Amino acid sequence: MGVVVTFNVTEVFEIPIGVGSITVENLLYFTVILIVGFAAAKTVSTNVRRALMERLPKSERELLVKLVYYVIVLGALVIALPQLQFDLSGLLVAGGIVGLVIGFASQSVVSNLVSGLFLMFEHPIKIGDGINVAGVSGSVEDIRILSTIVKTHDGVFTRIPNEKVFTSNITNYVHNAARRFEYQISIRYEDDADEAIRIIKEVIWTHPFALKSPSPSVFVDNFGDDGVNLTAYIWAPARNWWDVRTSLLWQIKQKLEENGIEMPYPQRTVWFADGLEVRSRAGEKNGKEE
pLDDT attached to residue 283: 47
Q: Name the residue with higher pLDDT: 250 or 75.
A: 250
Q: Name the residue with higher pLDDT: 81 or 278.
A: 81
Q: Does position 262 have pLDDT exceeding 70, yes or no?
A: yes
User: What domains can be seen in the chain, in order of their start residue?
Assistant: 11-105 (1.10.287), 124-172 (2.30.30.60), 178-258 (3.30.70.100)
Q: Tell me: the pLDDT tens digits for 138-176?
A: 998 888 778 888 999 888 999 998 888 888 888 888 888
Which of 17-26, 31-40, 216-225 has the weakest average pLDDT? Answer: 17-26
Instruction: List Cα–Cα distances, 92 to 37, 78, 95, 100, in angstroms.
Output: 19, 10, 5, 12
| AA identity, residue 249 | L
d(CA 174, CA 240): 10
Q: Tell me: the pLDDT tens digits for 175-204?
A: 888 889 999 999 999 999 999 999 999 999
Per-residue DSSP letter, 129: -
